[in-house]
Structure 1
């Protein structure tokens, strides 16, 4: 079996470092974003990835990798917003934001490890395009839950969907690095 935990940590370290650098540039301005706004930002990233996968011509010189990193970071921001609520003004220091980031990243990795055990690392045989489609499906589910004012009758909540999006995006990054 390959070193999924180590590969996962390496990808998440890249994401965390970018998050930290952006905190240095912008502070916690993202704290004013409501969950549907974060969901829409993730949706834009996922749609762009799908377009990159389907279109032969690229007019912006960025690849899928940077968009998957964006999905991961925006999803973790959403998990933080779920925990703390939306702020009226930026209210987190870089240190506080990183602590929250790491807390939610660790919980999301724990979920991945449990599912990965049960599914036998099936993601390793998946295509990056399929992981993109799964992220888009999760986004449509989150949008529907948001439209239902957060209520579900038998389904998992938005937090689990954000965590799944992080994990699918990390798997895609691992595939793209291979």
Structure 2
């Protein structure tokens, strides 16, 4: 594993985390109100826009490009993972829908620590998979990476329709981890200047 790859991963992570914290300060943890399918739909909406931009030479009516959409996907995946978490201090769907004041009582440090813990897991997975696959991502096209994300969004949809059950396949958490890593690889390949100050 080349140190440069991990350095780029960490810069992307830091940017995503800072954006997550800023939005949390603006809106509070309102994303806890999402149901799992809604979170998956948000990921789908963003990856669909990426694919549309790819097919139309990045022509866009709004200023955000593919790079910021990949960042959004990463953060939605982390939100999904945190909501799947059963650690102390993380409210359930029932908790927040029964009493919205629960959102005001969530300790930001618990959320931020959960975010970092999930990203540490994803980083460790990236190291293992990149070792096993021998930098295969470097020869993939950006469009293939986008399609890999789309495939995993569809898989999550099917798993949710099956009440989270899989007979032989990897579950939702594995799909979310893969989505994050494909987004990181895509951002590295794009060589965006979004993270130069990260």
Aligning the two structures, in what range does the TM-score lie when normalised by the shorter sequence? Answer: over 0.9
Q: What does 1:127-138 align with in structure 2 at a 5 Å threshold? A: 127-138=141-152
Equivalent position SS for 1:155: coil
Equivalent position SS for 1:77: helix
CA distance in 2: counterparts of 1:19 and 1:10, whole angstroms: 14
Q: Which runs of 5+ in 2 are unaligned?
A: 87-91, 193-198
CA distance in 2: counterparts of 1:2 and 1:173, whole angstroms: 17
- 1:94 CA displacement: 2.5
Identify the residue that residue 141 of structure 1 maps to in structure 2. 155
Q: Which runs of 5+ in 1 are unaligned?
A: none
What's the TM-score, normalizing by structure 1? 0.95
CA distance in 1: counterparts of 2:188 and 2:108, whole angstroms: 27
Identify the residue that residue 65 of structure 1 maps to in structure 2. 67
**Once structures 1 and 2 are overlaid, which stretch shifts more, 52-61 or 124-133?**
52-61
CA distance in 2: counterparts of 1:93 and 1:177, whole angstroms: 36
Q: Is contact 1:24–1:94 with CA below 8 Å preserved after alignment?
A: no
Name which one, 1 or 2, has greater alpha-carbon Rg: 2
CA distance in 2: counterparts of 1:167 and 1:132, whole angstroms: 11
1:60-105 Cα offsets, whole Å, 9 max, x none, are 1210001000000000000001113334132523222111100000
- 1:175 CA displacement: 1.1
Aligned length: 178
Identify the residue that residue 167 of structure 1 maps to in structure 2. 181
Q: What does 1:99-178 align with in structure 2 at a 5 Å threshold? A: 99-177=113-191
Identify the residue that residue 17 of structure 1 maps to in structure 2. 18
RMSD, aligned α-carbons: 1.3
